[in-house]
Amino acid sequence: MNLTELTKEIINGRCLTRDDDLSFFETADLTELAAGANEIRKALCGNSVDLCTIINGRAGKCSENCKFCAQSSFHHTSCETYGMLDTDVVLADCRAREAAGVHAYSIVTAGRTVEGEDLEKLIHTYEELRKNSKLRLCASHGLLAPEAFFRLKDAGVTMYHANIETSLRNFPNICTTHTYDDKIREIKLAQNAGLSVCSGGIIGMGETFADRLDMAVSLSELGIVSIPINALIPVSGTPFAELPPLTEDEIIRTVAVFRYLNPDAYIRMAAGRRMSAADACQYLSEVGLCAKDYINREVNASLSGGELKRIEIATILARGTQLSIFDEPEAGIDLWSFNSLIKVFEKMRDEINGSILIISHQERILNIADKIIVIANGSVDSIGSKEEIMPRLMNQPSTCKTLTDKA
């Protein structure tokens, strides 16, 4: 398959279907595939970015057994549990998100459906959001009754979110308390009520590449205008807790393929979640900061250099990156903070599932390295273990004074 020609055809109106041979997407050159997808994006979608944010309007105790979800009552997680949020709480959050520059706001609720008093409360909340905000309103409330979609639309909702999650073939491996057909039915009910539909899924749940192709084609057939692609973030206590993470290349290939198969849809990257205060405190504690003194503190000039360094490192720990790069992290911090910094790096070295690259002149930092690369005069001078490199560095007349000065 000539990707250059296919890209031109897509831009000129061609729509790929399941009758086409799509298997080439799995082995196509990734750089070329991504570049072609970007050309389609520029031609058909422009350079705008649409930002949507959500609030968990009702949390926990969900009756459904989706294997990826922390909210399911079938799993043992640390998920928060609470009933439907009051209107004033949601409205305050919406105003804050609007001030931050988002374009759309959605209430998401745990559970199979919303009905009765909870539905009435929800409708009232959407009405207040419509009156007091200029954001587009979206909703995600499970398998609703047909009339509920019309009520949501009348209350100001313009888009309904209902992920199909994966392919028809793979869906029973993800969930058995409702079906793929249930999902399709809800999407069509929402469309029948005049709502646009946001629907996508999660990749990295053990599916094949063919499953991802099937999901992308199914969304095209349904006329979905907004497609969130989530990369699974395994949650402790769920059946998918130990699944390996996808590589960056796998994620990029999937997004590119979705663009070819849904050329004018919004494709949303939707991985990650807001961090709980408990998690934030844990990361702050790991870098030697008393969490209660910092959790609600602004990051500004009132913080010392050492405090800022450790907060930056806590942020990196929270991201769980496979490669972390620190450029002279010891610069501008006091001796006590430097000693704490060494301990943090030693902890990271022992515990993280990834690599740490530190650019430094400090002997104590070099001494915790597995490998040292010496740069001299703009090129690599030598590479080796600390046992090989450190004696040579310490004995060189030109060695940096920082390494040799013991005063």
Q: Which residues pair with 62 in a beta bridge?
A: 72
pLDDT at 406: 40
Q: What is the pLDDT of residues 264-278, one digit of tens each?
A: 999 998 755 555 667
pLDDT at 348: 76
pLDDT at 402: 44
What's the pLDDT band for 336 if we cut at 50, 70, 90? low
| CA atoms of 115 and 142, how far apart (whole Å) | 11
What's the pLDDT band for 332 if we cut at 50, 70, 90? low
Q: Tell me the average pLDDT across 227-238.
A: 90
3-state class (DSSP) for residue 55: strand
| CA atoms of 268 and 167, how far apart (whole Å) | 18
Q: Which helix (H) or strand (E) holds 392?
A: helix 386-395
Who has greater pLDDT, 289 or 217? 217
Q: Which of 47-56, 121-130, 309-318 has the highest mean pLDDT?
A: 121-130
Rg of the chain on CA atoms, in Å = 26
Q: What percent of the chain has pLDDT over 70?
A: 91
Q: Could you write out the three-class secondary structure of 313-372?
A: HHHHHHHCCCEEEEECCCCCCCHHHHHHHHHHHHHHHHHCCCEEEEECCCHHHHCCCCCE
Torsions phi, psi of 380, nearest 5?
-75, 120
Question: Using an 8 Å Cβ cutoff, are 210 and 225 in contact?
Answer: no
pLDDT at 352: 67
Token pair 């745990």 is at which residue? 110
| CA atoms of 346 and 358, how far apart (whole Å) | 12
> Which of 268, 254, 63 is CA-nearest to residue 175?
63
Q: Which helix (H) or strand (E) holds 244?
A: none
Least confident of 179-183, 203-207, 302-306, 376-380: 302-306
Q: What is the pLDDT of residues 350-366, one digit of tens each?
A: 776 678 888 888 887 88
What's the pLDDT band for 315 if we cut at 50, 70, 90? confident
Q: What is the pLDDT of residues 81-139, one digit of tens each?
A: 999 999 999 999 999 989 888 999 999 999 999 999 999 999 999 999 999 999 999 99
pLDDT at 407: 33
Top-tier CATH class for 277-369: alpha beta
Q: Tell me the average pLDDT across 235-239.
A: 90
Q: Tell me the average pLDDT across 359-377.
A: 85
What's the pLDDT band for 212 if we cut at 50, 70, 90? very high
| CA atoms of 320 and 329, how far apart (whole Å) | 19
- For the cut 80, the answer to whether the pLDDT of residue 394 exceeds it is no
3-state class (DSSP) for residue 298: coil
- For the cut 70, the answer to whether the pLDDT of residue 225 exceeds it is yes
pLDDT at 387: 87
Q: Which of 6-10, 280-284, 318-322 has the highest mean pLDDT?
A: 6-10
What's the pLDDT band for 327 if we cut at 50, 70, 90? confident
- For the cut 60, the answer to whether the pLDDT of residue 279 exceeds it is yes
Top-tier CATH class for 3-269: alpha beta
Q: Tell me the average pLDDT across 319-326.
A: 77
Query: Which distant-in-sequence residues (6+ apart) come within 8 Å of 213 by Cβ?
Result: 22, 25, 257, 261
Query: Which distant-in-sequence residues (6+ apart) come within 8 Å of 238 by Cβ?
Result: 67, 68, 69, 70, 72, 75, 77
Q: What is the pLDDT of residues 70-86, one digit of tens each?
A: 999 999 888 889 999 99
Domain coordinates of the chain in residue numbers? 3-269, 277-369
Q: Which residue intervals of 166-269 are DSSP H helices? A: 180-192, 209-221, 248-261
Whole-number average pLDDT of the chain: 87
Q: Tell me the average pLDDT across 145-170.
A: 96
pLDDT at 147: 97
